[in-house]
Amino acid sequence: MKPIIGVTASLREGRVSVDNDVLKSVLLAGGIPYIIPYSDDLSVMDEIVQHLDGLVLSGGVDIDPTFFGEEPIPNLGEIMPERDALEISLIKKALAANLPILAICRGVQILNIAAGGNMYQDLYSQKIGLLQHSQRAPETHLSHFVHLQEGTLLQTISNCTQFKVNSFHHQAVKDPAPGFIFSASSSDGVVEAIESGHHFFVLGVQWHPEHLTSFDEPSKRIFNSFIHASTCKDRQAETYLKILTSP
């Protein structure tokens, strides 16, 4: 049986939408994607999590800073409070269930917030000496390098110490949530990936690997490893690292 993968989506003017490349990447890696529905009753997330084998937190608009104890600064962009509330509830329940999670761009930020961390509302006004993180190039263009921490889940998956990624963000993780570590950064010190040290497979990346899986090996490996993790019954972090590193 192929694993059932929940995928979060945007809600605008009553319409739910998700980038089709996310769905295609899940399918290509061997999963069956289902879009997470919106509901005023967030307790329904308990039921949803019980029916999932894995969860993808997709990209989207900015995050309401009141969820991490700040008020909005001038360069904060569009927010979707309904999405923030739904995803924070969903993430907490998924973490409690030790469900494999792959978080992408906005997804890595809301993952960190839900787990108790914080973030930059706007990199360009809150941090100096930056690279271009909102690239003016096609979504398949590899814009800048990320440098991986040795021995992390991401480094083990990719079997690289660095690789190039695309980049479409002006917000980013600032301080990791308790139990999370930084697993990749760009040369200007911006956090590019985080992962949980206490869960079986919880990985967040700041770039968009879903646009790259047709040709980029690290992106393929990220999705393939996530789907593989979603099929595993023994959900111990050490067990999965052993699986990845075994001959």
Instruction: Tell me the catalytic residues.
Output: 105, 208, 210
Q: How far apart are CA 16 and CA 29, in angstroms?
A: 24
Per the CB < 8 A criterion, the answer to whether 194 and 181 are in contact is: yes
172's CB contacts (< 8 A; 6+ apart) are 109, 119, 120, 123, 133, 190, 191, 206
Q: How far apart are CA 207 and CA 165, in angstroms?
A: 6
Per the CB < 8 A criterion, the answer to whether 226 and 201 are in contact is: yes
Strand order from edge to edge, sheet including 4-7 = 32-35, 4-7, 54-57, 101-104, 202-205, 191-196, 180-185, 144-148, 162-165
